[in-house]
Amino acid sequence: MWPRRVAVLSVHTSPLEQPGTGDAGGMNVYITHTATEMARRGISVEVFTRATSSDQPPAAELAPGVLVRHIPAGPFEPLARDELPAQLCAFTSGVLRTEAFHEPGYYDLIHSHYWLSGQVGWLARDRWGVPLVHTAHTLAKVKNAALADGDKPEPRTRVIGEEQVVAEADCLVANTSVEAGQLVGLYGADPNAVRTVSPGVDVERFTPGPRADARRRIGVPADAIVLAFVGRIQPLKAPDVLLRAAARLLERQPELAGRLVVLVVGGPSGNGLEQPRALRDLAVSLGIEKQTVFLPPQPGEELATVYRAADVVAVPSYNESFGLVALEAQACGTPVVAAEVGGLPVAVAHRESGLLVPSHADDDWAAALADVALRPGLREALAVNAVRHARRFSWSRTTDALLSTYAAAADSFSALRSEVAV
């Protein structure tokens, strides 16, 4: 049976924020679309997130049936994620206080996103007597095993916190079977408590469109060779890999200098080498500053325009639990060249909708990008298949699977409570 009302916990980032900057990214997109889809099915969703400004209202409507609650916890300003554990007590208090103004049993289920939210969800679960479903989105042990140069390892505090949440949650949602295996193998999760639910893509917004029109809208020449990166500018996402590969491509084929455009769309992140300035300096040192164009994070239809304008979208991350950018680009008919890590082999069908690169070496990436961007016949074949592949994923399908998971978690929770009562 579906829940009537779901409490969604997203401590460190709000679904109202623009993805692509700060800590806002794929998780924001995930929460926004699944919450909205649930509301369309008659389920009330309340998203709890930390207030970052005194100007924010206590509650704001994200969509009909979806309310975002801003919980004061610490100063009214953005905080780095390593500062947030100190605010979890205050945040938890605000969540529990909100529920206390309602009749008992107001929320039927808690869905926490990221380990910080899982810590809050674990306590609220015990206080409210409702099941806890948790989605990690990223895992510290996995990230630490594949760090980019110059990136900081995730702290032991997070590793311990994740282990606690894995042990306490009634159900764990993994984006792919790979992540499900990591939860079991690295964190000792009960295999029976892990469900694999692939994220989706907005197939109404991200659709193919005329490339010439898209290029005109963003000021790119019609005959350009456009290599695009979309995402937060941080070592984990590895936009530098694209720049280095582009420079290597020009070394091999200097005649492309007048046509090549490296399009970087994104903003600063909250971790490591976060400033776009460092990436601009890298473009200068590589001698490709004239070919590199930086754009801020793009909302909605503007982001679809970026995808349509590109010959290929690069996703060179060192780790991705899934890779929503890859799915969005393919839905727009743009092939993707992606690192063969995490969930990207699910998001990208190798040699069908794009190419997977098994390393982060400049030569390997330059060759893969050239294969797609400079071979029109291959690019067009990949583009057709990319749309078909992306349409296998939708937020409606994701939400159906989540609701099935909620029902299973509720049954498991009820059975556990019955055993304890006996």
Per-residue pLDDT reduced to its tens digit, 309-331: 999 999 999 999 899 999 999 99
Please tell me the distance from the alpha carbon of residue 22 to that of residue 154, in angstroms, as a whole number. Answer: 17
The pLDDT, as a whole number, for residue 274 is 47
- Report CA Rg, the chain: 22
CA nearest to 34, candidates 71, 70, 62, 4? 62
Is 287 annotated as a binding-site member? Answer: no
CA nearest to 110, candidates 91, 92, 130, 93? 130
Give how far the C-alpha of residue 381 lies from the chain's centroid of Cα atoms, to the nearest Å: 27
Residues 6 or more apart from 252 whose CB is under 8 A from it?
A: 366, 370
Is 26 annotated as a binding-site member? Answer: yes
CA nearest to 312, candidates 336, 287, 284? 336
Bridge partners of 233, per DSSP, are: 268
Is 275 annotated as a binding-site member? Answer: no
Question: Quick one: what percent of the chain has pLDDT higher than 70?
Answer: 96
Please tell me the distance from the alpha carbon of residue 96 to that of residue 128, in angstroms, as a whole number. Answer: 9
269-320: pLDDT as tens digits: 653 344 568 899 999 999 999 999 999 999 888 999 999 999 999 999 999 9
Residue stretches of the chain with pLDDT short of 70 = 20-22, 24, 269-276, 417-422
* CB 70 within 8 Å of CB 47: no
Please tell me the distance from the alpha carbon of residue 110 to that of residue 130, in angstroms, as a whole number. Answer: 7
Is 308 annotated as a binding-site member? Answer: yes
The pLDDT, as a whole number, for residue 333 is 98
Is 27 annotated as a binding-site member? Answer: yes
Contacts of 249-255 with CB under 8 Å at 24 or more apart are 249/366, 249/369, 249/370, 250/287, 250/288, 250/291, 252/366, 252/370, 253/370
The answer, as to whether pTM is greater than 0.85, is yes
Beta strands in 198-326 (DSSP E): 225-230, 260-265, 292-295, 312-315
Is 232 annotated as a binding-site member? Answer: yes
- What separation in angstroms does the CA of 390 have from each of 201, 276, 351? 7, 30, 14
CA nearest to 8, candidates 133, 185, 188, 152? 133
- What separation in angstroms does the CA of 50 have from each of 59, 74, 90? 11, 9, 10
Is 98 annotated as a binding-site member? Answer: no
Q: Collapse the DSSP code of 133 into the 3-class scheme (helix H, G, I; strand E, B; otherwise coil) and give the result.
A: strand
Cα of first residue to Cα of last residue in the chain, in angstroms, is 24
5-41: pLDDT as tens digits: 999 999 999 999 877 666 767 899 999 999 999 999 9
Please tell me the distance from the alpha carbon of residue 155 to that of residue 159, in angstroms, as a whole number. Answer: 7
Is 237 annotated as a binding-site member? Answer: yes
Is 69 annotated as a binding-site member? Answer: no
Is 138 annotated as a binding-site member? Answer: yes
Is 24 annotated as a binding-site member? Answer: yes
CA nearest to 118, candidates 98, 102, 138? 138
Is 310 annotated as a binding-site member? Answer: yes
Is 36 annotated as a binding-site member? Answer: no
Is 392 annotated as a binding-site member? Answer: no
Is 298 annotated as a binding-site member? Answer: yes
Bridge partners of 172, per DSSP, are: 134, 194
Q: Report residue 301 as tokens.
A: 């239809």
Is 106 annotated as a binding-site member? Answer: no
